[in-house]
Amino acid sequence: MQINCDSLKIKEKEMFGKVLAVCRSSKKGTTKDIVKTGMLIEDHGLKGDAHSGKWHRQVSLLGIESINKMKTADLDIKFGDFAENITTEGINLAELSIGTRLKIGEDVLLEITQIGKACHHACEIKKKIGDCVMPREGIFARVLSRGLVKAGDSIKIIENANTANTI
């Protein structure tokens, strides 16, 4: 079921961010490759991504601010290296609450379902980089409303008037 953002009683917050990259992979536990655009499908996730499906972690997001904490002079880190589907800028994702909704571009609506996660023992990211910031600062969401997402799209934090969650 697609949710029309206009039909929800929402109050857009003053906090805005933007999408820096969209990434996907066909296998779990690996880094992801940048794609020009991605189709987010409601109650499924990013089309063609190994993590998509009917569960609570359909899409992963990680801020460039978190990625920058991991950079060192001898380590080249690229978008998707932490297996994030959407790399963001301008919003401290780890400070958001479960249930918070994010509007990306004109059509996409996500709802945060989890903050952080346990890292795989055989995680390619941890082997390559030595540490993984995703378990501490990455967030996961389910897709409430479908649409295309691409680098440069705006991200707005919205408050759903039907829940007690506020930011």
Q: Is residue 58 part of a domain?
A: yes
pLDDT mean over 51-80? 89
d(CA 137, CA 124): 18
Q: What is the CATH number of the domain that holds 151?
A: 2.40.33.20
In angstroms, the CA 44 to CA 91 distance is 24
pLDDT of 123: 67
State the pLDDT at residue 110: 98
Distance CA 25, CA 29 (A): 9
Q: What is the pLDDT of the chain when averaged over all its residues?
A: 85
Contacts of 113 (CB under 8 A, 6+ apart): 56, 57, 98, 140, 141, 142
Name the phi and psi angles at 123, rounded to 5.
Answer: -65, 120
Give pTM, 2 decimals.
0.84
**Separation CA 27–CA 11 (nearest Å):** 37
78 domain-assigned: yes
Q: Is residue 3 part of a domain?
A: no
In a domain, 7, yes or no: no
Count of domains observed in the chain: 1
Taking only the tens place, the pLDDT of each residue in 83-119 is 899 999 999 998 999 999 999 999 999 999 999 887 7
Burial of residue 98 (CB within 10 Å: 0-12, 13-18, 19+) is middle
pLDDT band of 10, cuts 50, 70, 90: very low
φ, ψ of residue 67 to 5 degrees: the values are: -60, -40
| Residue 133 domain flag | yes
- Residue 53: how many CB atoms within 10 A of its CB? 11
Asked if residues 159 and 13 have their Cβ atoms less than 8 Å apart, the reply is yes
Per-residue pLDDT, averaged over 45-69, amounts to 95
In a domain, 83, yes or no: yes
Does a structural domain hold residue 71?
yes
Is residue 77 a part of any domain in this protein?
A: yes
CA distances from 123 to 10, 46, 56, 106 (A): 38, 21, 20, 34
**Residue 89 lies in domain:** 13-159
> From the CA atom positions of the chain, what is the Rg in Å?
15
The mean pLDDT value for 157-165 works out to 58
Sign, CA torsion 109/111/117/122: negative
Residue 54 has pLDDT above 60, yes or no: yes
Q: Is pLDDT of 13 > 90?
A: no
pLDDT at 167 over 60: no
| Residue 133 or 8, more confident | 133
Pair 147, 103: CB distance under 8 Å: no
